[in-house]
Amino acid sequence: MNHPEPVAAVPGRPIAGMRPALIGFGGAPLGDLYQHLDEDVAQETVAAALAAGINLVDTSPLYGHGLSEHRIGAALRRVPRDGVIVSTKVGRWMKPGAPKTDGSGYRGGLPHPAVIDYSYDGAMRSLEQSLLRLGTDHVDILLIHDVDVWTHGEQMEQRFAEAMDGAYRALEVLRASGAVRAIGVGVNEAQMCERFARAGDFDVMMLAGRYSLLEQGALDGFLPLALEKNIAVMLAGVFNSGILATGARPGAYYNYRPAPPEILARVARIEAVCAAHGVALPQAALAFAAAHPAVATVVLGAVTPEEVARNLDLVARPVPAALWDDLRAERLIPDHAPVPAC
């Protein structure tokens, strides 16, 4: 099958001495998040990302209950392992043979229910399973996953205490031994990034959806703290579940749900400013997200080689300075939000 040649990946900023590309590869869709993927196409997609110079690949046991890690592992075996920064997560391990549940939200995936476990032993067990699925003897970045209100609701405080007393201690041991190079958290809320940053010694944090062209909840709290503590940031969800990629069309998604009228209206205003400068909305969204100096890499999912090429093409296009001036004038981004240098 012939695919378009992607634009070479642009370098990002360091994570614990590692230098990722500005665009990382997000493995959530490879777990059959939105659709059942063809196995060959899934493999071709990862291969296309690696061939284009995308050298950071992020995944998790949650993504398809191990399926994403299996697919990424198969792709890793075709390239030199030392050339890829592999990131995965702890907080869940899989229990084959237990009654299957459908609470993960994934359209497909493997028939192994997940057990939520932020204990020391649970983190070690999670990593051991991930290494087997990935087919490697180490990962480079290990994140504590989903300790936030979005995931745990009223149990969040209990989960935070469990994670700091258990999983965090395990990650410290793994980092000290050289088994992993960087440790951190991966969550959906900037406030939880701040709490973890103040509670422990972390190298990196993945934040999904809370710093984007649409919303900048992390701008005045977490991101300055990350710079102060030298915590590299991996941004995910920079299209806010799709609306900054599709535009304000009927049925557009925001935070995994149909966008409410006020979000549609705001995105339509942003889109109009972009159109006036001949800039695609997702192009501006990527440029804005990547411009903050705390951000090491922007992690984007893809399910075809064409999507990989499109993501790299978007990030390589320059955005005129006048667009940012107009967005500020319309009060659509804060005056002090960093924007790309022209």
- Three-state secondary-structure class, residue 283: helix
Cα separation, 287 vs 242, whole angstroms: 16
List 63, 106, 118, 168, catalytic entry? 63
List 89, 106, 140, 211, catalytic entry? 89
Left, alpha or beta for 16 (phi > 0: left; psi -120 to 50: alpha)? left
Which are the contacts of 92, defined by CB distance < 8 A and separation ≥ 6?
A: 60, 61, 62, 114, 115, 116, 117, 126, 145
Is there a contact between 23 and 311 (Cβ–Cβ < 8 Å)? Answer: yes
Q: Specify whether 168 is catalytic.
A: no
Report helix angle 281-291 to 305-316, nearest 10.
70
- Report which of 226, 244, 337 is spatially closest to residue 286, judged by C-alpha positions: 244
- Tell me which amino acid residue 148 is: D
Q: Specify whether 58 is catalytic.
A: yes
Q: Specify whether 203 is catalytic.
A: no
- Report which of 170, 202, 169 is spatially closest to residue 186, judged by C-alpha positions: 202
Q: What is the DSSP letter of 98?
A: S
Q: What is the DSSP letter of 10?
A: P
Is there a contact between 100 and 114 (Cβ–Cβ < 8 Å)? Answer: no
Which are the contacts of 84, defined by CB distance < 8 A and separation ≥ 6?
A: 50, 55, 56, 57, 76
List 32, 34, 38, 58, catalytic entry? 58
Q: Where are the beta strands (DSSP E) in the chain?
A: 23-26, 56-58, 85-90, 92-94, 114-116, 141-145, 182-187, 204-208, 232-236, 253-254, 257-258, 295-301
Q: Give the total residue count for the chain.
A: 342
Q: Which residues are catalytic, by number?
A: 58, 63, 89
